[in-house]
Structure 1
Amino acid sequence: MFRVASYNIRKSVGTDWRRRPKQILDVLTELDADIVALQEVDRRLGDRLSSLSPGLIAEMTHFRPIRFGVRPGSLGWHGNTILVRKDVELLRRKRLVLPALEPRGAALADLQIGDLKIRVVGMHLGLVGLWRKRQARAVLDQLASLEEPLPTVMMGDLNQWNTEGGCLAHFAEDHHVIAPGLSFHSQMPFVSFDRIITSLDIHVDAAAVHSSERARLASDHLPVWADLSLLGADGDQKRRDVAMSHAY
């Protein structure tokens, strides 16, 4: 079993409109995940500096960041990056380009956790429904073009208001789409923007929103998490169980 999480950290700006990176790192420690996809990790203007320094991440957490940024001080690719436990091996990283009216991208990492090899994609989809559909299709098409298929987890802020249709329909064609719960706005959650999506060979053992007091202050999104495991010999039955219990 391994734990994944997704968190839109809003450039480390809390609900009091003060930038508090240490508060974000405290929330990440609370999650106790093996892999975390972060959205909005970099500042929007200027040199797009990361709001979380790699040194501070290493000092305060059990994570190390995977660098996707193309600028010296950036961690993210269009704000997306992935954190992993320090004993997780990075096999490959790749920037995915997404179609959009505004700059959008997704971050992909192939990882080794003990004997397990998995593929993780962190993404932050657009505000316009038509472009979200195109972005979902672009992510899936780029995954399909990779030479080595791997058990895959996609996660991030999908900006999808409704609980079915839209970009979710594309992801649900060959994957499980999990809504861990209401994650936005952190002060009074009313919509499930933040999702975790898995390939059919992964079982979801548990999934939820992390709604600690600190998390409600650290960003306008609450982080979401899931405990996952690979399906075994009884995979077909588990696939049916997961599809029934976690659809949308």
Structure 2
Amino acid sequence: MNRAASDSTFKLVSYNIHKAIGIDRRRDPLRILNVLSEVDADIVILQEADRRFGMRERTLPDILVEQHTDYVPVPFDVQNDSMGWHGNTIMVRRGIDVLEHDILHIPYLEPRGVVTASVRLPAGAEVSVFGMHLDLSGLWRMRQARAISTLARAAQEQRPTLLAGDLNEWRPKGGCLKEFARHFTLLDCGRSFHSQRPLGRLDRIMHSASLEAIKTGVHHSALASHASDHLPVWATFRLPA
């Protein structure tokens, strides 16, 4: 990793890592970490970072994260040996201070949750981020979007706010996207699912009006196309003056 947040910009990535299982059906956490190194973001939002059943063990061992990346996982400490909350987690580049963090309960049909953290960037600016993985049911996605929007609107009264994750929304503008768009700017980073032949814009990044998105994209490298069934989406933001 060689990029770092400048005085006025920072980069965020959202990535559904599919429990570190690639399209070859092999669990390979180091491959996921190498993809993150390619993207080289300052703030990382992950989905499916824990196994779904049993003890829900983390799929990215601490020792590998420490030895092979410049990231520090936000310590949600929900369950022993889990990395996040219902598979959602946040990591930040070393040098970024975590001021607050929490898990959020939302309405659900399947087990779902949201993670959030407020961080201070090296330049001194503070931002709040929300990471999520929404339901497969459109009705429940709408309910979840309303609940998350309410919480994120409260957060943006204190700091510029970002939301990111796998929204599971196939419609380009409808469904839960319409609900989020009432209060936040939705970025179209590009098609991120399936990693072998991207068709769906399931992975999204959203932001409050106090932030300016200056560049967005989907990271579609040879490694990323095999590491998970999703591709990472990213955005670079300019901080408010």
Give TM-score scaled by structure 2 length: 0.94
Unmatched tracts of structure 1, length 5 or more: 233-248
Q: 2:17 aligns with which of 3, 9, 19?
A: 9
Structure 1 residues 185 and 231 mapped into 2: Cα distance closer, same or farther (>3 Å)?
same
Paired residues of 1:179 and 1:194 also in contact (CA < 8 A): no
Compute the displacement of 1:61 (Å): 0.6
Q: Aligned match of 1:27 in 35, 57, 61?
A: 35
Partners of 2:19 and 2:27 within 8 A in 1: yes
Q: How does 1:118-157 map to 2 (within 5 A)?
A: 118-146=127-155, 149-157=158-166
Is structure 2 residue 81 aligned with structure 1 residue 73?
Answer: yes
1:53-68 to structure 2, matched below 5 A, reads: 53-68=61-76
Q: Deviations over 1:144-165 (max 9, x none)?
A: 4459521001000000001102
Matching residue of 2:115: 107
Alpha-carbon distance between aligned partners in 1 of 2:97 and 2:41, rounded to the nearest angstrom: 15
Measure how far apart 1:66 and its partner are: 0.8
- Among 201, 221, 240, the residue aligned to 1:212: 221
Q: Is the 8 A contact 2:189 2:218 kept in 1?
A: yes
Aligned-residue CA RMSD (Å): 1.2
Cα separation, 2, equivalents of 1:230 and 1:147: 14
For residue 4 of structure 1, give the secondary structure of its aligned residue in structure 2: strand
Residue 240 (structure 2) pairs with residue 221 (structure 1): no
Residues in 2 aligned to 1:205 and 1:133: alpha-carbon distance in whole angstroms: 28
Structure 2 counterpart of 1:129, which letter? G
- Paired with 1:189 and 1:79, the residues of 2 have a C-alpha distance of 23
Give the unaligned 5+ runs of structure 2: 1-8
Residues 201-243 of structure 1: CA deviation (Å, up to 9, x unaligned): 11011000000000000000000000001244xxxxxxxxxxx
* 1: CA distance, partners of 2:27 / 2:35: 14
The alpha carbon displacement at 1:68 in A equals 2.2
Deviates more, 1:209-218 or 1:97-106: 97-106
CA contact (8 A) 2:153 2:183 kept: no
Identity %: 47
* Code of the aligned partner of 1:127: L
Q: Distance in 2 between matches of 1:95 and 1:148?
A: 19
Match of 2:200 in 1: 191
User: Aligned to 1:213, what secondary structure does the other structure show?
Assistant: coil
User: Where do 4+ consecutive residues of structure 1 move more than 3 Å?
Assistant: 144-148
- Cα 1:51/1:7, change in 2 over 3 Å: same
1:235 corresponds in structure 2 to none
Shift in CA distance, 146/155, structure 1 to aligned 2, threshold 3 Å: closer
Q: How many pairs were matched up?
A: 232
Is the contact made by 2:155 and 2:161 (CA closer than 8 Å) also made in structure 1?
Answer: no
Contact 2:195 2:225 in 1 (8 A): yes
**Corresponding residue for residue 243 of structure 1:** none
Aligned partner letter, 1:159: N
